[in-house]
């Protein structure tokens, strides 16, 4: 009997290891996006999602991933590329990847939402994944290294409590802040108009590279000393806040553009 239960337990735990930002972070991103939608985009979102909000559908891809029929979506949540690439090298390798990854999945969601031949159900599916994947793209450890599963294999401690680098950035730091998703959204959504315009103008490849650069620094910190004290959260809180804000603002910009 013991052997029979090993596989499902391992399967579920592995699928949960790559849940970026947790429920609170993803919903905060959706909430921020709702505040920056154009009237046309608001109408289009409402027509597709009905009574569901961007905040509430933001966790859908993580909720379905443990089901066998959606196992194919697991690689959609991240991308792994070698350490130390310049922007030009990173861009070339990212665009050239043939295997499923978050960048390809996001572009497919955009294409599906723009495609008049797609059914409403297909567009709803694409919308839910779009909301989630923009959030994932802005979590630095979702652009980590393949050899340690995006930091899951990097053991760390935060104030003497065991964790791993990926989990710490998925939800550990957000849980530490102790906010609801609406409180987190309000706390993060404070960008200037100039920043909003620039963030929405940036290419999607740049969004991914920003996370990649941050992840390199996080890896270096963990290699130097994996036992983080009470200074870790305040030293990284601004990064968390900016990435969540950028994700929400850019998600809105993407939806506004799709719905023009």
**DSSP class of 51:** T
Measured CA to CA, the distance from residue 192 to residue 174 in angstroms comes to 23
Q: At residue 256, does pLDDT exceed 60?
A: yes
Q: For residue range 159-193, list pLDDT tens digits in order.
A: 999 999 999 998 889 988 899 999 999 999 999 99
Q: Picking from 121-130, 167-176, 212-221, 223-232, which range would have the lowest pLDDT averaged per residue? A: 167-176
Beta strands 227-228; 161-164: pairing state: unpaired
Q: At what angle do helices 204-224 and 232-258 cross, to 10 degrees?
A: 170
| Averaged pLDDT for residues 64-85 | 95
| Averaged pLDDT for residues 229-257 | 97
Q: Picking from 94-103, 158-167, 196-205, which range would have the lowest pLDDT averaged per residue? A: 158-167
Confidence of residue 3 (pLDDT cuts 50, 70, 90): very low
Share of the chain above pLDDT 90, in %: 87
Would you state the pLDDT for residue 20? 67
Would you state the pLDDT for residue 19? 55
- The alpha carbon dihedral of 253, 257, 259, 260 has a sign of positive
Closest of 74, 52, 188 to residue 128, by C-alpha: 52
| Averaged pLDDT for residues 85-114 | 97
Measured CA to CA, the distance from residue 75 to residue 100 in angstroms comes to 6
Q: At residue 56, does pLDDT exceed 90?
A: yes
Measured CA to CA, the distance from residue 138 to residue 214 in angstroms comes to 10
Q: At residue 12, does pLDDT exceed 50?
A: no
Q: Picking from 11-15, 23-27, 111-115, 214-218, which range would have the lowest pLDDT averaged per residue? A: 11-15
- The alpha carbon dihedral of 204, 105, 119, 59 has a sign of negative
CA dihedral 51, 55, 58, 60 (to 10 degrees): -40
For 20, residues 6+ apart whose C-beta sits below 8 A from its C-beta are 26, 77, 135, 136, 139, 141, 142, 169, 170
**Are the C-beta atoms of 79 and 208 separated by less than 8 Å?**
yes
Global pTM reads 0.91
The CATH number assigned to the domain with range 23-258 reads 1.10.575.10
Distances (CA, A) of 103 to 50, 142, 201, 204, 239: 27, 11, 17, 8, 21
**Are the C-beta atoms of 159 and 173 separated by less than 8 Å?**
no
Q: At residue 114, does pLDDT exceed 70?
A: yes
Measured CA to CA, the distance from residue 115 to residue 118 in angstroms comes to 6
**Are the C-beta atoms of 147 and 153 separated by less than 8 Å?**
yes
Would you state the pLDDT for residue 16? 38
Burial of 157 (0-12, 13-18, 19+ CB in 10 A): middle
Measured CA to CA, the distance from residue 121 to residue 166 in angstroms comes to 33
| Averaged pLDDT for residues 94-118 | 97
Would you state the pLDDT for residue 170? 87
Would you state the pLDDT for residue 15? 37
């Amino acid at each position: 009997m013991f052997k029979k239960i090993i596989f499902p337990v391992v399967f579920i735990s592995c699928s949960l290891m790559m849940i970026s930002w947790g429920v609170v972070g993803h919903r905060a991103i959706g909430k921020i996006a709702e505040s920056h939608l154009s009237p046309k985009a608001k109408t289009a979102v409402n027509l597709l999602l009905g009574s569901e909000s961007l905040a509430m559908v933001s966790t859908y891809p993580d909720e379905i991933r443990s089901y066998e029929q959606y196992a194919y979506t697991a690689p959609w949540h991240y991308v792994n590329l070698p350490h130390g690439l310049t922007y030009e090298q990173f861009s070339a390798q990212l665009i050239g990847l043939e295997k499923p990854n978050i960048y390809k999945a996001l572009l497919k969601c955009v294409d599906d939402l723009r495609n008049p031949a797609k059914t409403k159900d297909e567009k709803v599916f694409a919308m839910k994944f779009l909301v989630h994947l923009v959030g994932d793209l802005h979590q630095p450890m979702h652009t980590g290294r393949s050899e340690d599963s995006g930091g899951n294999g990097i053991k760390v401690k935060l104030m003497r409590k065991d964790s791993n680098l990926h989990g710490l950035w998925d939800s550990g730091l957000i849980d530490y802040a102790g906010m609801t998703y609406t409180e987190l959204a309000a706390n993060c959504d404070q960008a200037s108009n100039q920043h909003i315009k620039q963030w929405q103008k940036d290419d999607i490849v740049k969004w991914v590279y920003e996370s990649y650069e941050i992840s390199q620094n996080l890896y270096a910190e963990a290699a130097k000393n994996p036992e983080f004290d009470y200074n870790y959260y305040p030293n990284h809180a601004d990064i968390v806040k900016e990435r969540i804000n950028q994700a929400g603002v850019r998600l809105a910009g993407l939806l506004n553009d799709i719905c023009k």
